[in-house]
Amino acid sequence: MKIKDKLKEIQKSWYFLVAMILIYSVVSFFNYELFTSSLNFFVDILIKIIPIFIFIFILMVITNLFVTPKFILKYLEKDKGIKKWVFAVIGGVLSSGPIYMWYPLLADLKEKGISDGLISCFLYNRAIKIPLLPLMVVYFSWKYIIILAFVMMFASVIQGIIINKMKIKN
């Protein structure tokens, strides 16, 4: 995609913002109470979410700096027993980016002897998205998120163990 095309896309994305400003302006003209109520709701949500966004941003920077494919391979090859499962769970939760970017690494891990169960555990835990936590907090609660995450992590290990017991052959 050319730079000129990208600039056109960016310009088009501003249409939504301009449309929302116009809609809110019209609403404020006809029903100022509704406008202030909506604005207060927006500010309240923003105040709740900003600290979480800052925390998640810091966490993502740290993981992107220190958790590399070589780091993952090093610990999955060395560790035995439960440590591998814990690392697969944490790796899946912390992994970011599109899933197809992880396929070559996972295929390489499989060739080096990592079990299908650990790979499935990793993939299962990619469903826990750290960047989406602030939105989940707004709609649900911390208690719900923590319980959901632990259930998913536990289920991923059970699923991985079942896959290993089945000894699926290619």
Residue pLDDT, tens place only, 74-113: 666 665 678 888 888 888 888 877 787 788 878 877 887 7
Whether 40 is covered by a domain: the verdict is no
Whether 107 is covered by a domain: the verdict is yes
Query: Residue 6: what pLDDT?
Result: 65
Q: Looking at 67-141, list the stretches that DSSP marks H as alpha helix, in order from N- to C-terminal side.
A: 69-78, 82-94, 103-111, 116-125, 133-139
Domain that holds residue 122: 68-166
> Which among 161, 163, 131, 164 has a CA at the least distance from the CA of 49?
131
How do residues 36-62 score in pLDDT, each as one tens digit? 998 899 899 888 888 878 887 887 788
Query: Residue 75: what pLDDT?
Result: 66
Say yes or no to pLDDT of 151 above 90: yes
Rounded Cα gap, residues 45 and 74, in angstroms: 41
Q: How many CB atoms lie within 10 A of CB 71?
A: 11
> Which among 91, 60, 111, 106 has a CA at the least distance from the CA of 153?
91
Whether 85 is covered by a domain: the verdict is yes
Query: Residue 155: what pLDDT?
Result: 95
Whether 158 is covered by a domain: the verdict is yes
Total of domains in the chain? 1
Query: Residue 154: what pLDDT?
Result: 95
Rounded Cα gap, residues 8 and 65, in angstroms: 33
For residue 155, the number of C-alpha atoms closer than 13 Å in the C-beta half-sphere is: 12
Rounded Cα gap, residues 97 and 91, in angstroms: 13
Whether 100 is covered by a domain: the verdict is yes
The model scores a pTM over 0.75: no
